[in-house]
Chain A
Amino acid sequence: MTEFTADPPVPPGPPRQRPAAIRAVPLRHPWRWVAAVLVVLILAGVVDTFITAPYLRWSVVGQYLFDDRILEACVVTLYLTAIAMAVGVTLGVLLAVMRLSPNRVMSSVSWLYIWFFRGTPVLVQLFFWFSIADILPYLSIGIPFTHVMVQASTNTLITPLLAAILGLGLNEAAYMAEIVRAGIISVDHGQTEAAQALGMRRPQVMRRIVLPQAMRVIVPPTGNETISMLKTTSLAYIVTLHELFFVSQEISFFNYRVIEMLIVASIWYLVMSSILTVFQYYIERHFARGAVRGLPPTPIQRLRRMLFQFHAVPPFGSDAEPDVEPWLPPAPPHSGM
Chain B
Amino acid sequence: MATPMVRAESVHKSFGRNEVLRGIDIEVAPREVMCIIGPSGSGKSTFLRCINHLEKIDAGRLWVDGELVGYQERGGRLHELPDREVCRKRSEIGMVFQGFNLFPHMTALENVIEAPVRVKKEAAAVATERGRALLDRVGLGDKMDAHPRQLSGGQQQRVAIARALAMQPKLMLFDEPTSALDPELVGDVLNVMRDLAHEGMTMIVVTHEMGFAREVGDSLVFMDSGMIVEAGTPRDVIGNPQQQRTKDFLSKVL
Same complex for A and B? Answer: yes
Chain A interface (Cβ < 8 Å from any Cβ of B): 1-7, 188, 190-191, 193-202, 204, 208-209, 212-213, 289-293
B211 touches A4 (CB 8 A): yes
| Contact stretch, chosen from B61-69, B183-191, B199-207, B227-235 | B183-191
Q: Which residue of A lies closest to B120 (CB)?
A: A199
In the complex, 23 of the A-B residue pairs with CB atoms within 8 angstroms, ordered by the A residue number, are A2-B211, A2-B215, A3-B187, A4-B212, A6-B184, A190-B97, A194-B95, A194-B101, A194-B103, A194-B160, A195-B103, A196-B54, A197-B90, A198-B164, A199-B90, A200-B87, A201-B87, A202-B83, A208-B118, A212-B105, A213-B105, A290-B149, A291-B105
Which residues from B are CB-within-8-Å of A200? 87, 115, 118-119
Contact A198 B97 (CB under 8 A): no
Q: Are B114's CB and A198's CB within 8 A?
A: yes
- Residues on the A chain within 8 Å of B190, using CB: 4
- CA of A202 to CA of B54, assembled, Å: 13
| Residue from B149, B167, B211, B215 within 8 A of A198 (CB atoms) | B167
Instruction: Specify the chain B residue showing the minimal Cβ separation from A197.
Output: B95
In the complex, which residues of chain A have a beta carbon less than 8 angstroms from the beta carbon of B17?
none
Q: Are B114 and A199 in contact (CB under 8 A)?
A: no
Nearest A residue to B89 by beta-carbon distance? A199
Say whether B104 faces chain A, with CB atoms less than 8 Å apart. Answer: yes
CB within 8 A of A293: which of B54, B84, B149, B211? B149
| Complex contacts, B212 vs chain A, CB 8 Å | 4
User: Using Cβ atoms and an 8 Å threshold, which residues of chain A touch B147?
Assistant: 289-290
Q: Do residues A197 and B187 form an inter-chain contact, with CB atoms below 8 A?
A: no
The answer on a CB contact under 8 Å between B149 and A291 is: yes
Q: A292 CB to closest chain B CB, in angstroms? A: 8
Q: Which residues of B contact A (CB under 8 A)?
A: 52, 54, 83-84, 87-95, 97, 99, 101-106, 114-115, 118-119, 147-150, 160, 163-164, 167, 183-188, 190-191, 194, 211-212, 215
> B103 contacts which chain A residues (CB < 8 A)?
191, 194-195, 209, 213
Q: Is the CB of A4 within 8 A of B194?
A: yes
What is the CB-to-nearest-CB distance from A294 to chain B, in angstroms, rounded to a whole number?
A: 10
Q: For A194, what are the chain B residues with a Cβ–Cβ distance below 8 Å? A: 95, 97, 101-103, 160
